[in-house]
Amino acid sequence: MPKKAGFIFCLVVTVALMAMILLPLVVVVLGSCINASLLGLSTDLWSGSRHDIFDFSAFGYIFENYSDWALFSLELAIACVAICLLIAVPAGYALARHPFPGSGLVEELVLMPLSLPGITLSMGLLATYGELRGPLLVLAGHLLYTIPFMLKVVTATLRSFDVGRLETAARSLGASFPQRLFLVVLPNLRHAMMVGSLLVFAVSWGEFNVSFLLNRGRPQTFPAVLYDTYTNQSIQISSAATTIFLAIVIPAVIAIQWFGGRDSVEVEQGA
Amino acid sequence: MNILIEAHNLRKSYGFVTAVHDFSHSFAPGRITAILGPSGSGKSTTLAMIAGLIDPDGGSISLNGTDITRLPAERRDFGLVFQNYSLFPHLSVVDNVEFGLRVRGIDKAERRRRAMAALEQVHIPNLADRRILQISGGEQQRVALARALAFSPRVLLLDEPLSALDAKLREGLRAELGRLLNELSLTAIYVTHDQVEAMSLGHELIIMRGGRIEQSGTPLEVYTRPATPFVATFLGSANLLDGEYLQIDGQTRLRLPFVEIPAPEGATVGPCQVMVRPEDIAVVSDGNGHLSGEVISSVFLGNQARLTVTAGGNTLIVDTSNEAIPSPGTMVSLQFREAKLCIMPKGV
C-alpha cells in the first residue's frame, strides 16, 4: 500500500511539474488561434464572424510582414550547421585523437562563450570587428555559441568508443588514412553529427541577444519578431509568432532526444 | 607460405623507461611463435613494432630479407587480432570480415565469397548478417580472427587474443585456434601472459622479462631446461635449490643439500642453482629416498595432490598421485629424478 501511495505522489508531482512547464505554451498556442473578441480582447485583424472560435489571421499577418526575418534566421541556422560540421568535427577529432600539452585548456576555452552574457560577447565583437557589423558579424556571434556544442558532442563520442583502437584495427587491415576516415571514423560519428547539427540549429534559431546587438537594420532574426510583436502588437499576433517559433524548434528538440537516446545505447553496447 | 620475419636489435623507449632492449629473433617460417612474459615485459610493444603500429627507436625488421622497418602498418599485409577484438560497431559481421578486401578494391561478389569462406573457417557463417553488438565475446573473437585471415595476410599477429574470455571458452577456442593455424601453416606470432596458452599453441617460445629475451626455444626445451630461475618459476612451478660444484679426487661433483652426484660435463667449480619440477620428485617408501622431510600441507587437486615438504632446511613442492595422500605432519621419503635436475648459474 505505501508503495502505491508513493507512486501516486510521484505521479501528481510529475503531472504538476509538466503542467507548469507546458501550460504557458498551450496558452500561447491557443492564444494565437482563438478569436480574440470572444475573450473580450480587441484586435485590429479580425474580419470574420464574431462568433467563430478559431481565427488564424494572425499567422497571415506574420507571414506577410516577417517572412524575410524567418528566412534570414533559417539561413543563419543552416550556415551555422554547415560551418560547425566543417570546423568543429575535424577540430574535435584532432583534440580527441591527438591530445597535446594544453589541449584540455583549448577545449575549455572553446566552451567559454557559453558562460558569457550575450551583451559582453557582442560588445567584444563590435569593439574588435565593428566595421563588419551586419549579417556577417551575427553569423560570427552565432558560431561562437554553436561551435562548443558540436565540439563537445564529437569529442565525447570519439572518446566513448575509443576511435584510436578502431583506426588501428583498420590500419592493420590495410586501410589508408582517407579510407579510415570515410569507412571508420565518420560512420561512427554520424549520430554525434546529427545530434550536434540539431543542437546547433536549435541554438542558432533561438539566439536573440547577440543577433539583436550585432545586426544592422532589417531583416532581424526570428526571435526579434517575438520582441517586436510583444512590444508593439496585440497578444494574438505575438502568440502567432511564438507558435511559429516553437513549430520549428520543438521538432528539433524531439529529434535530439531521439537520436541522443539511440546514440548512447549504441555506444554503451559497443564499448 | 613460408614467410620469414627477422627482428634485429629492436629497441623502444618511452621517456626514461626502455620498454624493449635489443630484441633479435628469427621467427620460424610457417610456425607459431609464442612470446610469453609478465605484464610490462615488453612483449606487446615488440609485437606492435613488428606490426608497424609503433616505430622502433633502433634496429630493423625484415620480411623474407626485405627491410620493412619503416613500412607503414597498412602496407605490411599482416593480419592482427587484438585482445579487445576492435571490431567495427557500425558494420555487420560479414562487412567487418570484408573490410580488408574492401580497402584493397576487390569487387563485391568476390569479397563476399572470401569473407564467407573465412567465416566458415571459424565456424560462424550463420552469424554473417548479425550486428557486432548482437554476438557474444567468443563469437566476436572468431569474427576478429576471420577478419584478419580473410585478406590472406602474409603473417598473423595475435596480441592476447583469448585473455578477455572466460576460462572455459578460452580453452575451447585455444584448441580450435591451434588447429586452424596449423592447418594454414601461417607464420604466426602469439603474444600472451598465459603459460599454458604459450606452451600448447607455440611451436617455439620466447620468454621476455624487463624488455629482454630471457630464453627462447621449443616449449619442451624451455620447460625442462630453463636458462634462468625466472624462466623456471614463470613457466610452471619449480623448486630452486642452492648447489655447489666441488672438485673431489680429480672429479667434479655436484653437491646438493641432500645428495651428491657426478657433475655434468663442462661444469666449473663454484656455487650454482638447481631447479627441479614438483613432478620430478617422488614420494617413496621409507629409507629409499634421497632425503626425508615433514609434510607441511597437502592440497588435493583432483587428478593429483600437491604437497609442501620441509627437508634439510629447504621447502619443496612435490606433486604426487591422488592414491595415498600423506597428511600434514607425517614424515615422507623423497627421491629426485637425477636426470631431470636442471643446473643454472647462480645469481641470474
Q: Which residues of B touch A161 (CB under 8 A)?
A: 89
> pLDDT > 70: what percent of chain A?
91
Q: Do B74 and A174 touch (CB under 8 A)?
A: yes
Query: Residue A265 pLDDT > 70, yes or no?
Result: no
Confidence tier at A42 by pLDDT (50, 70, 90): low
Per-residue model confidence as pLDDT tens digits over A94-112:
999 888 999 899 999 999 9
Half-sphere exposure of residue B35: CA atoms within 13 angstroms, side-chain side: 31
The C-alpha torsion from B28 through B32 and B33 to B35, rounded to 10°, is: 160
Q: Domain containing B305: what range?
A: 237-345
Please give the DSSP secondary-structure letter assigned to residue A217. Answer: S
Give the three-class secondary structure for A66. helix
- Give the gap in angstroms from C-alpha A90 to the nearest C-alpha of chain B: 20
Contact A81, A232 (CB under 8 A): no
Q: Do B53 and A165 touch (CB under 8 A)?
A: no
The domain boundary residue, chosen from B216, B233, B250: B233
Grid cell at residue B260: 651428491
pLDDT of residue A49: 63
Considering only residues 103 to 162 of chain B, which have any Cβ-Cβ distance to chain A shorter than 8 Å?
103-104, 132-133, 147-148, 151
CA A33, CA A43: separation in Å to the nearest integer?
Answer: 12
> pLDDT > 70: what percent of chain B?
99
- Give the gap in angstroms from C-alpha B144 to the nearest C-alpha of chain A: 10
pLDDT of residue A131: 87
> What amino acid is encoded at B140 in this protein?
Q
Q: Does residue B101 share a domain with residue B208?
A: yes
CA A159, CA A165: separation in Å to the nearest integer?
Answer: 11
pLDDT of residue A57: 84
Q: Do A171 and B53 touch (CB under 8 A)?
A: yes
Confidence tier at A267 by pLDDT (50, 70, 90): very low
Q: Does residue B207 share a domain with residue B78?
A: yes
Please give the DSSP secondary-structure letter assigned to residue A34. Answer: B
**What is each CA distance from B214 to B35, B91, B211, in whole angstroms?**
11, 42, 9
Q: Which residues of B touch A166 (CB under 8 A)?
A: 86, 88
Q: Does residue B110 share a domain with residue B15?
A: yes
How many C-beta atoms lie closer than 10 Å to residue A125's C-beta? Answer: 20
Chain A contact for B87 (CB, 8 A cutoff): yes
Q: Does residue B217 share a domain with residue B258?
A: no
Q: Which regions in chain B score pLDDT beneath 70? A: 1, 265-266, 347-348
Q: Does residue B124 share a domain with residue B16?
A: yes
Partner-chain residue, chosen from A174, A187, A188, that has the shortest CB–CB distance to B100: A174
Partner-chain residue, chosen from A172, A179, A188, that has the shortest CB–CB distance to B51: A172
**What is each CA distance from A217 to A62, A146, B100, in whole angstroms?**
18, 24, 58
The per-residue pLDDT of chain A, averaged, comes to 87
pLDDT of residue A268: 39
Query: Residue A270 pLDDT > 60, yes or no?
Result: no
Give the three-class secondary structure for A13. helix
Per-residue model confidence as pLDDT tens digits over B141-176:
999 999 999 999 999 999 999 988 888 888 889 999
The domain boundary residue, chosen from B233, B254, B280: B233
The chain B residue lying nearest A265, using CA atoms, is: B133
pLDDT of residue B347: 64
CA A41, CA A59: separation in Å to the nearest integer?
Answer: 17
pLDDT of residue B38: 92
Contact B323, B332 (CB under 8 A): no
Say what the pTM is. Answer: 0.80
pLDDT of residue B215: 94
Per-residue model confidence as pLDDT tens digits over B318-346:
998 888 788 888 888 888 888 888 888 77
**What is each CA distance from A180 to A171, A188, A199, B54, B179, in whole angstroms?**
7, 11, 27, 18, 33
> What amino acid is encoded at B320 in this protein?
T
The domain boundary residue, chosen from B233, B262, B294: B233
Tell me the sheet residues that pair with B209: B212
Q: Does residue B195 share a domain with residue B256?
A: no
pLDDT of residue B94: 96
- Higher model confidence: residue A216 or residue B52? B52
Q: Does residue B262 share a domain with residue B172?
A: no
pLDDT of residue A262: 64
pLDDT of residue A260: 72
CA B54, CA B47: separation in Å to the nearest integer?
Answer: 9
Grid cell at residue B214: 630471457
Optimal mutation site among B77, B99, B160, B189, interface A, most CBs of chain A within 10 A? B99
The chain A residue lying nearest B156, using CA atoms, is: A172
Residue B277 belongs to domain with CATH number: 2.40.50.140
Q: Which residues of B touch A171 (CB under 8 A)?
A: 53, 72-74
Q: Does residue B331 share a domain with residue B253?
A: yes
Q: Do A270 and B132 touch (CB under 8 A)?
A: yes
Q: Nearest to residue B190, comparing CAs of B36, B25, B28?
A: B36
- Give the gap in angstroms from C-alpha B103 to the nearest C-alpha of chain A: 6
Q: Which residues of B touch A175 (CB under 8 A)?
A: 74, 99, 103
Considering only residues 280 to 339 of chain B, which have any Cβ-Cβ distance to chain A shorter than 8 Å?
none
How many C-beta atoms lie closer than 10 Å to residue B240's C-beta? Answer: 15
Confidence tier at A269 by pLDDT (50, 70, 90): very low
> What are chain A's domains?
66-270 (1.10.3720.10)
Confidence tier at A271 by pLDDT (50, 70, 90): very low
Q: Does residue B341 share a domain with residue B202?
A: no
CA B345, CA B348: separation in Å to the nearest integer?
Answer: 7
Per-residue model confidence as pLDDT tens digits over A134-174:
889 999 999 999 999 999 999 999 988 888 899 999 999 99
Q: In what order do the strands lie in the sheet with B291-300?
A: B281-284, B331-336, B291-300, B304-311, B314-321
Residue B174 belongs to domain with CATH number: 3.40.50.300
Q: Does residue B155 share a domain with residue B284?
A: no
Q: Does residue B280 share a domain with residue B167?
A: no
Confidence tier at A215 by pLDDT (50, 70, 90): confident
How many domains is chain B built from?
A: 2
Q: Does residue B85 share a domain with residue B158?
A: yes
Q: Do A166 and B104 touch (CB under 8 A)?
A: no
CA B219, CA B90: separation in Å to the nearest integer?
Answer: 41
Three-state helix/strand/coil letters over chain B: CCCCEEEEEEEEEECCEEEEEEEEEEECCCCEEEEECCCCCCHHHHHHHHHCCCCCCEEEEEECCEECCCCCHHHCCEEEECCCCCCCCCCEHHHHHHHHHHCCCCCHHHHHHHHHHHHHHCCCHHHCCCEHHHCCHHHHHHHHHHHHHHCCCCEEEEECCCCCCCHHHHHHHHHHHHHHHHHHCCEEEEEECCHHHHHHHCCEEEEEECCEEEEEECHHHHHHCCCCHHHHHHCCCCEEEEEEEEEECCEEEEECCCCEEECCCCCCCEEEEEEECHHHEEEECCCCCCEEEEEEEEEECCCEEEEEEEECCEEEEEEEECCCCCCCCCEEEEEECHHHCEEEECCC
Grid cell at residue B105: 578494391
Give the three-class secondary structure for A65. helix
Chain B contact for A183 (CB, 8 A cutoff): yes
Q: Do B74 and A171 touch (CB under 8 A)?
A: yes
